[in-house]
């Protein structure tokens, strides 16, 4: 199965980011000098995905504006002879050239599994990737490409994993595994937010998936939880219980989480200090403040 499509769910209420998310959706919050969601789209393009499916609510269509050209703005900058700014804008737009964008609507947030179901029509009968925009990776090889390489060989679903300290495991989906090779595992089970001390491993799911179209059938059978949400992890558990093979691959690189305000702030600091233009200036400024 050829991999060309990637789903990026972004229709949540962003309650952890209130009050700022009243006016700026989480996916458009800045990470250094770009909106958060642009990092995931850039990762997708670098990994060879040409079709991006955003799952959005009706109030979030501004998300698409960032990825479109702005002829009127370009014309204004040209008339004002703001060549450096114009060049910067065009460079940003060129980063996403060649990608087609489509939207699936999820007006009532009912979980990550429901978000993926909403994109069933756009995906069709092909394998696809899923990337959550509040999980950012700084890595030599794009995170989703690392999973794609496993899928190209196995043609089986692959879940991205990262090791997490024991005290933080209750906040994640954690997998039970059988090791196959270095950084590659067969997933034997999955526990969503395990109680302290009961996690089956220290390997947490980190917001990157390669899935086959049969996941839709399992999502349609998944019972909503107490919050009336359909959870992707529950559908994957059913696949495993049915004897289907699901692999897990540890992603190489730094995992920068942005799901909570404090994590977003930390990730901004890391990316700002790593930035080729702003990093040296910030480091010098911080030394003076000590």
Query: What is the model's pLDDT at position 13?
Result: 79
**Length, in residues, of the chain:** 290
Asked whether residue 219 carries a pLDDT value surpassing 70, the answer given is: yes
Query: What's the mean pLDDT in 109-138?
Result: 95
pLDDT at 12 over 90: no
- In tens, the pLDDT along 191-201 reads 989 999 899 99
Assigned CATH topology for domain 5-289: Spore Coat Polysaccharide Biosynthesis Protein SpsA; Chain A (3.90.550)
What is the rounded distance in angstroms from the CA atom of residue 188 to the CA atom of residue 241?
9
Distance of CA 23 to the CA centre of its chain: 22
pLDDT score, position 62: 77
State the pLDDT at residue 92.
86
Sheet strands (E) in 67-196: 100-105, 128-131, 135-138, 158-163, 173-181, 184-192
Task: Give the residue among 231, 259, 250, 39 at the shortest CA–CA distance from 160.
Answer: 250
Residue 74 phi/psi, 5° resolution?
A: -60, -40
242 falls in which pLDDT band (50, 70, 90)?
very high
Average pLDDT in the 156-161 region? 98
% of residues, the chain, pLDDT over 90: 77
The more confidently predicted of residues 78 and 246 is 246
pLDDT for the residue numbered 136: 97
Q: What is the reported pLDDT for 1?
A: 65
The string of DSSP codes covering 101-112 is EEEEE-SS---H
d(CA 220, CA 70): 40
Res 57: pLDDT: 86
Q: By percentage, how much of the chain surpasses pLDDT 70?
A: 100
Rounded mean pLDDT, 35-43? 95
Range 78-88 average pLDDT: 90
Q: Is the pLDDT of residue 142 over 80?
A: yes
Q: How far apart are CA 130 and CA 2, in angstroms?
A: 15
pLDDT band, very low/low/confident/very high, at 184 (cuts 50, 70, 90): very high
What tens digit of pLDDT does each residue of 51-81 get?
999 999 877 777 888 888 888 998 998 889 9
Query: If you average pLDDT over residues 12-16, what whole number do you get?
Result: 84
Q: Which two tokens stand for residue 6?
A: 């990637």
The span from the CA of 118 to the CA of 179, in Å, is 34
- DSSP-based three-state secondary structure for 206: strand
User: Kind and range of the H or E element at 248?
Assistant: strand 247-250
Strand pairing category for 158-163 and 247-250? parallel
**Residue 68: what pLDDT?**
86
């Amino acid at each position: 199965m050829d991999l060309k499509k990637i789903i990026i769910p972004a229709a949540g209420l962003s309650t952890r980011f209130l009050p700022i998310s009243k006016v700026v959706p989480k996916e458009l919050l800045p990470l250094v000098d770009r909106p958060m969601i642009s990092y995931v789209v850039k990762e997708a393009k670098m990994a060879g995905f040409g079709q991006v499916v955003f799952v959005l609510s009706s109030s979030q269509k501004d998300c698409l504006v960032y990825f479109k050209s702005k002829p009127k703005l370009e014309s204004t900058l040209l008339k004002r002879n703001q060549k450096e700014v114009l060049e910067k804008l065009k460079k940003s737009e060129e980063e996403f050239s060649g990608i087609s964008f489509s939207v699936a609507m999820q007006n009532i947030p009912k979980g990550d599994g429901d978000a993926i179901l909403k994109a069933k029509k756009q995906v069709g009968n092909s394998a696809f990737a899923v990337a959550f925009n509040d999980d950012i990776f700084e890595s030599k090889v794009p995170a989703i490409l690392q999973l794609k390489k496993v899928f190209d060989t196995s043609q089986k679903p692959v879940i991205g994993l990262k090791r997490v300290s024991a005290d933080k495991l209750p906040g994640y989906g954690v997998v039970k595994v059988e090791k196959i090779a270095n950084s590659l595992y067969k997933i034997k089970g999955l526990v969503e937010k395990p109680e302290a001390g009961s996690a089956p491993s220290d390997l947490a799911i980190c917001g990157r998936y390669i899935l086959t179209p049969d996941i839709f059938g399992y999502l349609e059978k998944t019972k909503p939880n107490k919050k009336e949400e359909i959870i992707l992890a529950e559908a994957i558990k059913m696949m495993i219980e049915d004897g289907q093979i699901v692999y897990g691959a540890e992603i190489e690189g730094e995992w920068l989480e942005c799901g909570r305000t404090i994590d977003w702030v930390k990730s901004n600091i890391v990316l700002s200090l790593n930035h080729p233009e702003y990093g040296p200036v910030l480091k010098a400024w911080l030394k003076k403040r000590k």
